[in-house]
Amino acid sequence: MIDKGIDIGICIGDSDEALRFYRDTVGCEHVTDLELPQGVMHRLRWGTSLVKLIRPHEPPTADNPRGGLVSRGIRYLTLTVPDLDAIMTRCEAAGYTTVSPATELRPGVNYALVEDPEGNWVEFLQEGSPA
């Protein structure tokens, strides 16, 4: 039986910048790169899920609307983390924009929002004490 999970595909314009964020800063495990007819897919594992960064051969002609929750559609993805303070320290040291600093959502649950290099929001969620 396969564990349930959800994978997400993110169209990117710059592989190096996207990998620097998701792999090097956030800590997603780089599984493989796949050559596709449309471009390359960088497959990164986060728990039982995959973050699939897709860089087309032809640069994308449109951008996702910036500004977070002010437009329809998928506005952010959530990654559950064992130590919110540690991941926020890495993101800040790497120069990424903090959209919302670490905040207690409810007792024992904390979150923060960071903008990735493509302008997507990534929510980091920690339940309980740091591991």
The CATH code for residues 75-131 is 3.10.180.10
pTM, two decimals, is 0.90
- The domain locations on the chain are 1-60, 75-131
Q: Which CATH class is domain 1-60?
A: alpha beta
> 106-129: per-residue pLDDT in tens?
999 999 999 999 889 999 999 987
Judge whether 18 and 113 are in contact, CB under 8 Å: no
Among candidate residues 25, 24, 12, 95, the one with its CA nearest the CA of residue 57: 12
| Cα 28 to Cα 14, 57, 85, distances in angstroms | 17, 24, 17
> 13-62: per-residue pLDDT in tens?
999 999 999 999 999 999 999 999 999 999 999 998 999 999 999 988 87
Beta strands 49-56 and 8-11 are parallel
Average pLDDT over the chain reads 91
d(CA 33, CA 51): 12
